[in-house]
Structure 1
Amino acid sequence: MIGKIRLIFLLLTAGIAASEKLFGNSPLTVAQPSDLLKWKLQNLKSVDQEIIEVVENVSMENILKLKNVFNVSDACLGSLEQLALDSLELESYAIQMLDSWGKLGSGVLEGHLNWPGRYYECRNAKNKNGTIIPKYYTSYIGYDPTPLAGMFLPGLSVGGCFPSNCSLNDINNVLYKLVNITNIPGVLAFAQSPENVIRWGAAERIGVTVCSTLVLLVVISTLYEYISLNKFAPSVKTESDSQDLISTSNQQPGKLYKLAISFSVISNTRILLNTEQKPGQINCLHGMRFLSMSWVLLGHSYVFSIYSTDNIVFTARYFVDHFGIQAITNATYSVDSFFYLSGLLVAYLGLREMRRNEGKINVLLMYLYRYIRLTPAYALVILIVVSIYPMLGDGPMWPQEQQDLKQLCDVNWWGNLLYINNLYPENTGKQCIVWSWYLANDFQFYILAPLFLYSLYRFPKLGLSLVTFCLTASIAITGGFSAYTNQQPTVLIFAQLSKLVLHPNIPTNTTTPQYSPYINDLYMKPWCRLGAYLVGMLTGYILYINNNKVKMSKVTVVIGWVSASIMNLAIVYGLYPAVEGGYVLDNNTAAFYNAVSRPLWCIGLAWLTVACVSGYGGPVNTLLSWKAFIPLSRLTYCVYLVHPLVIYWLLSTVEVFYHNSIAFLLMMFFTTLVMATMIAYALSMLIEAPVSAIMKIAFNKSSSPQNSAISYVPVNKIEQPVIDDGQKLA
C-alpha cells in the first residue's frame, strides 16, 4: 500500500515540504519525457526513506507555508491537514483518495504523460463523518499549445483528488507558483475540475420534450398500423393516392391512413429493408456509398483517438514506418467520393426528369424538397448535442468534450440550419458539429445544380463548356490558394505532426512547419471542393446520353481498369516516400497535388461507375451491387450525422487513456460502425423516414410525372439519393 501511494503523497505534500528540491528544477514541470525518466531514476530512493522524509515535513509549520507561499485558503489548509493526519492513521478514505491520484508509470518515452488516475475511486472516497468531500482535478504543466495551432507539445497531465474545500483557485495558485520557480520560458500550468453538471435549462427541456414526442408518435403510429393490419388485413391491399380518406373495408389505403402510419416502425422498416433491384437502376452505387462511409468511420476512428491514447509516440512512429497506414490517413478522399456520387445523381436523374417534362424543372420546389429532406434529422442531432448528449456520460475527460460541442452549437447552430457553416464562423473549427461542413458544401453545390442541368439539357455544348470551365477554375483556385498559403497534402501534414511528436524540440513561438492556419479553408471551402462534384455531374451526363450503356472494346476496358486502378492507388499511397523520409514537397509540387488529386480520384470512380453500369464491372460490380448493401446505404446519412458522437463517447467516458494498437483501432472502428448504424436506424425511424413518408403524401409523389415537376427531381445526398424513376434509396 505504501508503495502505491508514494509518488502521490510526494505530489500532494510537495508544497508543504520545507525543502524545494522536489520541485525546484524538476523535469516534472519541464515535461520532456527523456529528462523526466532520467530524473526519476537518478533520484530513486527506498520507499521507506521517501516516506520518512515526507512525514518529517508534515507539520503545522510547513502546512502554514501553503498559505504564505502559495496563497491557499484557510478552508483548504484545514482539510489538507486533516487528510495528511488521517493518511498517517491509514484511514481508508484518505488512502483511497491518495491511491486515486495519477501516477508515473511505464511508457513515458512513448508519450505516456497523461496520468488521469481513478476518477470514480476519488469520488467514492468519503470519510465517515463527512467532513472531507473529495473532488477530482486535472492539472496540466507544459508548453502553451496556442502558437502551435492547438497542437500540444509533450506536457504532463495529472489527475488529483483533493478535499472539495480546495477550490480551483487554490490549485491554480500552487501550479502558478511552481511554474514561476522553474524560470523556464513558455511553460504554463493550469488546473480544471471536470464536473459534468447537468442544468435543466430551456435547451434541455426542449430536447427531452421533442424526443419524447417523437417516440410517442412512433409508438402510436406503430400500434395503429399493427392493429389495422390484423383487423383489416383483407381490405388493405395496394397503395393509391386517389383515395383521400382512411380506408374502409371496400377501400384502399388513403392519404389519412398513410399519414397515420408515417411514423410506424413496421412500414418504415419494411421500406428500409426492401432490396428489390429494378432494371435501369445504378446498383453499384449502394456498395460505393456504404464502403465510402465505412472509410470515413475508419479515418475518424484513427484521427479522433490519437490524443486519447497513452502512447502517441508509438502511433506517430507506426504511421511513418508502415506503408499500409496510408489508406487510413488518406481517408479524406472518401468525402470526395460522396461529392462525386451527389453530382452524378443530380445530373443523371435531373436530366431524365427534364426530358419527361419537356425541359421544365421547378427550381424552387426542388430546393424546398431537398431542404425539408435534409434538415429535420440534422436539426434533431444538433438539438440532442445541446440537450441530451451531455447527460449520457461521465468521467474525467467527458465534461470538457461535451461542453466544447455544446458551447459551439449554443452559439452557431443557426449557421448549420442555413447551410453556411463552412463559411461562417470565419474560424471553421468553431462551427457547430464541425463534421457537418460537408452538408453545407453539398447543399451549396445543389443550389448551383439547376444552372448546369438547364445548360446541359438545352445547350449541351455550352453546358459541357460551363461545367469544364468551373471544374478548371476550381482546380486553379485550389492550386493557387495552396501555393499562396504554403500548404502541403493532408497526409504530409500528418507526417509533420508525427515528426513533431517524435522530435518535440522545436521553437515554441512559431507555427508548426507546414501546418498552415489556412488548412481548414483548403479543406472545407466550396470553391476548393467543387471539382469532385462536377466530375460526378459529367459522369451522370455521360450515363444519361448513352442510356446507361457505354460500348467499349476489350482493349479500352483493360486500359481503363488498369489506368484507374494505378491512378487511385497512386493518390492514396504515392506520397509514402515523403512520409517515410520526413520531408515536404516543393511548394509548387504540393500545390499541384492539392489541386488535381481530388478530381483525379473522382475520375477513377467515374470509370468504375461507367464500367459497372455498362456491363464491364465483373466481380467488382457483383460486390458493389450486393443486396445487403442496400439497407446499409440508406442509413449512411444518419450514420454520418451521429458517428463522431459515438467516437467521442467511447473515448471520453473512460477513466484512463486507451493504449493504441492495430487491434485497438479495429475494435474502435467496428464498435463505432455497429453502434452508429444502430443509432442511425433509431434516428431514421424517429424523424428521417417519417418525414420522407409525409413528403410523399404532400408532394403527391406517387402520381404520374406529368402531374408534378418535382415528383422525380433528385434529392440526392449521402444517405438516400434517388436511383431510378423517383425510387429513392430509403
Structure 2
Amino acid sequence: MAKVSVVILIFGLVVTRALDFGPELNQGIELDAQDYQRLNKVRHLSEQFFSHYKNVTLDDLVPQGRLPTVSDLQCYADFAQLTAGLTTGSLWAYRMIDSWGSIPSGILKGHLKDLGHYDECIDIEQSMASGSTLLGKYCLASLPLQQLLGNAGRMLNVQTAVCFPSSCSATNMDTLLRRVLKQLVGLELNANQNLVSENSCKTSEREAYDGGTIAAIVILSVFGGAVLLSTLYDYFVCEDQKKLPALLKVFSARANSRSLFRITTKPNPNMIECLHGLRGMSLIWVCFGHDYIIGITSPNINLYEVYTWAKTPFMDVIKEGVFAVDSFFFISGLLVAMVALRSMEKAKGKLNIPLMYLHRYLRLTPIVAISILLYWKILPYLGDGPLYGNWNFDSYDRCEGNWYWTLLYIQNYATDSECLAHTWYLAIDMQLYIIAPILLIVVYKWGKKGAAAVLLLLLGLAAYLFSIIVINNYSLVGGGGGGGPDDYSEDLEHYTHNRASGWLVGFLFGYFLHTIRGKTIKLSRPAVWVGWITCLALLFTCIFAMYPYGIGKTNTLSSVSEAFYVSLSRIAWPLGLSWVVFACVQGYGGLANSFLTSPLWQPLSKLSFCVYMGHLLIQNLNGGRTRVNTYFSNYDIMLRFWQDFGFSVLLAYVMYILIEAPCGGLESLILPNRRPAPQPKVQAAETSPEIIPSPVDPEKQAPESSAAASDGAVASAPPLDSKTQLQAIEGNETS
C-alpha cells in the first residue's frame, strides 16, 4: 500500500502550516488486478479518444440541454478539419495527437501528472482552405480516480495533457471527454465535476500590453536610461570621482556599485557587524523554504515520497522558517531603539517624527512600487509553460483592486486579498516603526520604568495571542483548527499585534545595549557556556518542539499546549538571538562571531531588501516554465535553490542599481540635511587608556561615512540598517 500526504508549506513570509489534500489520502491507494486493468483502458487516452471519435458530431461538443453557439460551430468545423487531417496523414494533425499526455507510468509511486508536450501543441498553426488558421490549445484534464477505480482511488485526481483546436472552449473539451470515458469504462460524472477548466488552458496567443504594462516598461526605461548616461559620463568623462556632479553620482552604476561592494575588513567598534550575517542567513532561510514549496507542488514523479520526507526532522527546519521573519523583526527593533536613543540624547530628547516617517516611506516605497509592477504587469510576459501563472504563491490579479493598500502599508488589516502577500512583513514593520516614537519617549523619559512598561506590553500581547488560539481552537498541527488554515494565517501571522513580540524583544535589547554603552561586561567561562547552551536550547526548541506532532505522527497536541508554544516561541527566538548579538559584541562569540562578521555578508546584507522583494518572481518564473516532470529530493531542491537564489541576487542588483540607490540618493538631495554640523574630533579616547571604548559601545555605533548617503548606497534591507535610521532620526538636531 502506498501512502500519500502532500505537504504544502505556506512558510516564512506567508505562514507555515502543514496541510494535506484530505484525511482520505492518508489511508492510501490500494489497487487490485481488476482496478489496474480498468486503469489501463484509459492509459493512452489520445489513441482511445480519436479511435472512438473519428467522426465527431455537434452533439458531442455541446452540453446536453444547451443550444449551439457560434463558437461551438467553429469548434465543430475545426474538429472536422482535424479528423480529416488524421485521415489524410497530415503531420500537423498527428502532432496534435502526439502532444497528448497519458495516464502516467509509476502512478503507484505518486506520478499523478503527465504534462504531455506543451510546445508541440501550442506551436500548431495550420492554414485551412477556408482561409482561417487552426491553432493548438493545450489544457490539463483532471481524471477522478475515485470514480474511475471506486473507493480504491480515494480523492486523488490524475492530470494529463490534452490538445484541441483553439476554437474549442474548455466546456467543449469537457463534454467530449466525458463521453469518451463513458464509452471506455462506463464512467458517469455529475455536472459539478469538471474534467477541463479554462484556467488550465494555454495557446500561443498573447494578450497585448495594457496601460499598466506600458507604464512599467516606460518607468524602467527612464531609470535605465538615466543610469546608463550617468555611468557613461562617470566612466569616460569624469576622471576625478570627487568632481562628479551629485545628481549624476546618484544614478551612476559605477559609483553605486562601488558603494555596494565596499566591505570593511577591519573590526569596527562603531558597528554591530554580526547583524550582517544574521540578516543574510535569515534571507537565505526564507528563499530556501519558498523553494521547497515550489519543489513540493511541482509535477513530481514520486509524490508519495513527500509523505515520508514530511516525517523527518529536516521538515521542521523548512516548516519553521517563519522564525527567519522574527529575526528580521528583532534586528529592526534593536536598531530603532539603539540608534534613536543615542540620537535623542544628543538632541536632548527631541525627535523629528514627521521626517522619520517621510524618510522611511521614501526609502521603502520605490522598490515596493516597482515590485508590484513587475509581479502584476511584467511577470505574465516573461515566460510560459503548462503551469505558468496557475501556481504562483499569489494570484497577482488581486493587485487590480488592492495595490494601493500595499503602498500604504496597511494591507494586512485592510484586505484579505493582498496584492503581494509576502509584503505583509513590510506592513507590520512599518506599523511598528510608526508607534516606535511613543516607546522611545517612554524609555527615554522613564528609563527602566519605561522599559518595564514595554515589557508588560510584550507579555500582554503574548497573553492575547495565547487566548485567541485557545478560544478559536487554532492548530498548526491540525491544519488550522476551528477557523481553517486561512483564518489561522490571517489571525496569527499577518496582524501586527500578533507578530510584534520579536520586534519588542529587539527594542528592549537595543535599550539594554544603549544603557551599557562604553562598558565591558566581564563573564566567567562557565557563565559564557551557560549563555550559549541556553541560547541554543531556545533556538532548537523553537524549531523542533513540534516534531513529535507533525504529519504522520500519532501524538496529539491540545490547543492549550500549542498556544503555549506559539506565544512563547515568538519570545524565545529573539531572546536566543539577543545572546548571539551580545556575545559577539562583547567578545564571547568565538566561531559564531567570526562567521557572522565575515565581510562577505556585507554586500548581501545591503541587497537583502531587493532580494526579498524579487525572489518570488524568479521562483515563480523558473517553476512556471517547467515542461517535464520532476523528482523530489533534498538534493534536487538544493540545486533548484542555488539556481533561483543566484538569479534572485542578480535581479536584486539590477533593482538596486536602477531603483533603490538612485531613489535613495535623490531623497538625500531633496530633503533637508538631516545630519548635525560636524563637531571637533575628540582624541581623548585614543590617548587616555582609562577611556578606551568597549566593542559594544553604541555611542560609537556611528553610520558609515556620510558620503554613502549621497552615493545612494544606503540599504533599505529588511530591517533597515542603522545608518538609514540614524539619518532619519537625527533630523531633529537640525530642525
Structures share fold, TM-score greater than 0.5: yes
Q: Which of 468, 479, 494 is equivalent to 2:466?
A: 479
Matched, 1:225 2:225: no
Task: Show the counterpart of 1:373.
Answer: 363
Matched, 1:76 2:78: no
SS in 1 for 2:303: helix
Task: Show the counterpart of 2:601.
Answer: 629
Q: Which of 200, 203, 210 is equivalent to 2:209?
A: 200
Q: Which of 66, 71, 80 is equivalent to 2:60?
A: 66
d(CA) in 2 for partners of 1:188, 1:68: 14
d(CA) in 2 for partners of 1:343, 1:289: 13
Task: Show the counterpart of 1:718.
Answer: 718
Task: Show the counterpart of 1:138.
Answer: 140
d(CA) in 2 for partners of 1:403, 1:326: 20
Structure 1 residues 513 and 351, CA, compared in 2 at 3 Å: closer, same or farther?
A: closer
d(CA) in 2 for partners of 1:667, 1:265: 31
SS in 1 for 2:357: helix
d(CA) in 2 for partners of 1:355, 1:134: 71
TM-score (norm 1): 0.81
Task: Show the counterpart of 2:635.
Answer: 663
Once the 2 structures are TM-superposed, how far is the Cα of residue 85 of structure 1 from its aligned partner? 4.0
Once the 2 structures are TM-superposed, how far is the Cα of residue 311 of structure 1 from its aligned partner? 4.3
Once the 2 structures are TM-superposed, how far is the Cα of residue 449 of structure 1 from its aligned partner? 0.7
Deviation string 1:330-358 (CA, Å, 9 cap, x unpaired) is 11110000000100010111111111111
d(CA) in 1 for partners of 2:483, 2:308: 21
SS in 1 for 2:414: coil
Are the equivalent residues in 2 in contact too, given 1:633–1:719 (CA < 8 A)? no
Once the 2 structures are TM-superposed, how far is the Cα of residue 298 of structure 1 from its aligned partner? 0.7
Once the 2 structures are TM-superposed, how far is the Cα of residue 552 of structure 1 from its aligned partner? 2.3
d(CA) in 2 for partners of 1:675, 1:465: 46
Structure 1 residues 123 and 183, CA, compared in 2 at 3 Å: closer, same or farther?
A: closer
d(CA) in 1 for partners of 2:717, 2:214: 31
Are the equivalent residues in 2 in contact too, given 1:66–1:77 (CA < 8 A)? no
Are the equivalent residues in 1 in contact too, given 2:103–2:158 (CA < 8 A)? no
SS in 2 for 1:274: coil
Task: Show the counterpart of 2:677.
Answer: 704
SS in 2 for 1:327: helix
Are the equivalent residues in 2 in contact too, given 1:349–1:724 (CA < 8 A)? no
Structure 1 residues 412 and 46, CA, compared in 2 at 3 Å: closer, same or farther?
A: closer
Deviation string 1:424-468 (CA, Å, 9 cap, x unpaired) is 21x2xx201110100000000001111111111111123112211
Matched, 1:458 2:445: yes
Once the 2 structures are TM-superposed, how far is the Cα of residue 126 of structure 1 from its aligned partner? 4.1
What amino acid does structure 2 have at the position aligned with 1:530?
A
Are the equivalent residues in 2 in contact too, given 1:345–1:723 (CA < 8 A)? no
Are the equivalent residues in 1 in contact too, given 2:144–2:156 (CA < 8 A)? yes
Matched, 1:538 2:508: yes
d(CA) in 1 for partners of 2:393, 2:725: 45
d(CA) in 2 for partners of 1:312, 1:323: 20
What is the aligned-residue RMSD (CA, Å)?
Answer: 3.4
Q: How does 1:485-524 map to 2 (within 5 A)?
A: 485-489=472-476, 492=477, 515=485, 517-524=487-494
Q: Which of 385, 401, 417 is equivalent to 2:407?
A: 417
TM-score (norm 2): 0.80
What amino acid does structure 1 have at the position aligned with 2:251?
F
What amino acid does structure 1 have at the position aligned with 2:156?
P
Deviation string 1:298-336 (CA, Å, 9 cap, x unpaired) is 111112332223247335323333222321111111000
Task: Show the counterpart of 2:496.
Answer: 526
Once the 2 structures are TM-superposed, how far is the Cα of residue 675 of structure 1 from its aligned partner? 0.7
SS in 2 for 1:157: strand
Q: How does 1:284-683 map to 2 (within 5 A)?
A: 284-311=274-301, 313-401=303-391, 405-425=395-415, 427=416, 430-489=417-476, 492=477, 515=485, 517-547=487-517, 549-579=520-550, 581-683=553-655
Are the equivalent residues in 2 in contact too, given 1:487–1:516 (CA < 8 A)? no
Are the equivalent residues in 1 in contact too, given 2:365–2:407 (CA < 8 A)? yes
Between 639-648 and 93-102, report the one with greater CA deviation: 93-102
d(CA) in 2 for partners of 1:96, 1:56: 16
Between 630-639 and 545-554, report the one with greater CA deviation: 545-554
d(CA) in 1 for partners of 2:574, 2:674: 32
d(CA) in 1 for partners of 2:724, 2:269: 9
Structure 1 residues 226 and 372, CA, compared in 2 at 3 Å: closer, same or farther?
A: same
Once the 2 structures are TM-superposed, how far is the Cα of residue 166 of structure 1 from its aligned partner? 1.8
Deviation string 1:460-490 (CA, Å, 9 cap, x unpaired) is 123112211110111111111111222224x
Structure 1 residues 94 and 354, CA, compared in 2 at 3 Å: closer, same or farther?
A: same
d(CA) in 2 for partners of 1:59, 1:376: 58
SS in 1 for 2:108: helix
Once the 2 structures are TM-superposed, how far is the Cα of residue 159 of structure 1 from its aligned partner? 2.0
Q: Which of 253, 260, 263 is equivalent to 1:265?
A: 253
Structure 1 residues 36 and 199, CA, compared in 2 at 3 Å: closer, same or farther?
A: farther
Structure 1 residues 98 and 284, CA, compared in 2 at 3 Å: closer, same or farther?
A: same
Are the equivalent residues in 2 in contact too, given 1:207–1:384 (CA < 8 A)? yes
Are the equivalent residues in 2 in contact too, given 1:222–1:266 (CA < 8 A)? yes
Between 403-412 and 685-694, report the one with greater CA deviation: 403-412
Between 404-413 and 642-651, report the one with greater CA deviation: 404-413
d(CA) in 2 for partners of 1:706, 1:345: 24
Structure 1 residues 410 and 705, CA, compared in 2 at 3 Å: closer, same or farther?
A: farther
Once the 2 structures are TM-superposed, how far is the Cα of residue 46 of structure 1 from its aligned partner? 13
What amino acid does structure 2 have at the position aligned with 1:651?
G
SS in 2 for 1:106: coil
SS in 2 for 1:388: helix
d(CA) in 2 for partners of 1:200, 1:68: 33
User: How many aligned residue pairs are there?
Assistant: 644
d(CA) in 2 for partners of 1:684, 1:58: 57
Once the 2 structures are TM-superposed, how far is the Cα of residue 202 of structure 1 from its aligned partner? 1.4
SS in 2 for 1:423: helix
Q: How does 1:47-66 map to 2 (within 5 A)?
A: 57-58=52-53, 60=55, 63=57, 66=60
Between 719-728 and 559-568, report the one with greater CA deviation: 719-728
d(CA) in 1 for partners of 2:491, 2:247: 44
d(CA) in 2 for partners of 1:363, 1:650: 43
Once the 2 structures are TM-superposed, how far is the Cα of residue 40 of structure 1 from its aligned partner? 4.1
Task: Show the counterpart of 2:20.
Answer: none
Task: Show the counterpart of 2:225.
Answer: 216
d(CA) in 2 for partners of 1:326, 1:56: 50
Task: Quote the sequence identity (%).
Answer: 29
Q: Unpaired runs of 5+ in structure 2?
A: 1-27, 147-153, 681-701, 704-708, 729-735
Once the 2 structures are TM-superposed, how far is the Cα of residue 280 of structure 1 from its aligned partner? 2.2
Between 692-701 and 118-127, report the one with greater CA deviation: 692-701
What amino acid does structure 2 have at the position aligned with 1:167?
S
What amino acid does structure 2 have at the position aligned with 1:632?
L
d(CA) in 2 for partners of 1:265, 1:556: 49
Task: Show the counterpart of 1:169.
Answer: 171
Structure 1 residues 607 and 89, CA, compared in 2 at 3 Å: closer, same or farther?
A: same
Between 516-525 and 670-679, report the one with greater CA deviation: 516-525
Once the 2 structures are TM-superposed, how far is the Cα of residue 571 of structure 1 from its aligned partner? 1.4
d(CA) in 2 for partners of 1:554, 1:153: 59
Are the equivalent residues in 2 in contact too, given 1:452–1:466 (CA < 8 A)? no
Task: Show the counterpart of 1:15.
Answer: none
Are the equivalent residues in 2 in contact too, given 1:369–1:715 (CA < 8 A)? no
Deviation string 1:534-559 (CA, Å, 9 cap, x unpaired) is 00011111111111643322222111
SS in 2 for 1:422: helix
Structure 1 residues 220 and 453, CA, compared in 2 at 3 Å: closer, same or farther?
A: same
Structure 1 residues 78 and 135, CA, compared in 2 at 3 Å: closer, same or farther?
A: same
